[in-house]
Amino acid sequence: MIKDKLLDDYITLKTKTPFAWGTCDCVLFMADWCEVLTGINPAEGSHGKYDSELSAYKHLKKLCNGDPTIIGDKYFKRIDENYVQKGDVALCDLNGKDTFGICGTRGMVLFKTPDGIMATKLAEKKVCWRIE
C-alpha cells in the first residue's frame, strides 16, 4: 500500500533527523506526516516559531487556545481508538504529557522524542484522527 510505504520512508527519514524544538518535535513530527500524506499541515507556520519546551507550549497555546485537539479537528475526522489504521495520528498521554504521535502497526504509536523515535503501546490514546 502506498500509505504504508510513505510512512515507512517518513519514519526512516525522521529517525535520522535530530529532535529539535520548532523543527522536529512531537507536534511537527505529526503535522509534517499529515502534510506528506494529504498536503495539509495542521501546524502550518509553526516551523521555527519556538526553540524550547516552554516556548513550544506557549506557541501551541496561541495556535489552539490551549486545546491541542483543535489542531486535528480543524482538518481531519476523529475516529475511535479501536479503529485506528497505520498512518493515523493520535493525541496521547505519554508519561503524563499530551503528545502527538503517529499510529503504527499492532497498536503501537510512534513518537519523536529527544532520544529518537519511540514506539510504544503504553501511551493512552486520548483522541485519534483518520489521515488519508
* CATH number, residue 85: 3.90.1720
Q: What is the pTM of this model?
A: 0.94
Q: How far apart are the first and last CA of the chain?
A: 12
What number is the average pLDDT over the span 105-128? 94
* Spatial distance between the Cα atoms of 15 and 129, rounded to a whole number of angstroms: 23
Q: Which domain holds residue 86?
A: 2-130
63 band by pLDDT with thresholds 50, 70 and 90: confident
The three cell numbers of residue 80 are 475511535
107-118: pLDDT as tens digits: 899 999 999 999
Q: Which of 17-26, 61-70, 89-98 has the lowest mean pLDDT?
A: 61-70
| Mean pLDDT for all residues in the chain | 94
pLDDT at 43: 94
SS3 27: helix
13-56: pLDDT as tens digits: 999 999 999 999 999 999 999 999 999 999 999 999 999 999 99
Q: Residue 122 pLDDT more than 90?
A: no
Domain count, the chain: 1
Q: Which of 31-40, 49-58, 59-68, 75-84 has the lowest mean pLDDT?
A: 59-68
Q: Could you tell me if 69 and 91 are in contact, meaning their C-beta atoms sit under 8 angstroms apart?
A: yes
pLDDT at 125: 94
pLDDT at 49: 96
Instruction: Give the dihedral sign, CA 40/58/70/93.
Output: positive
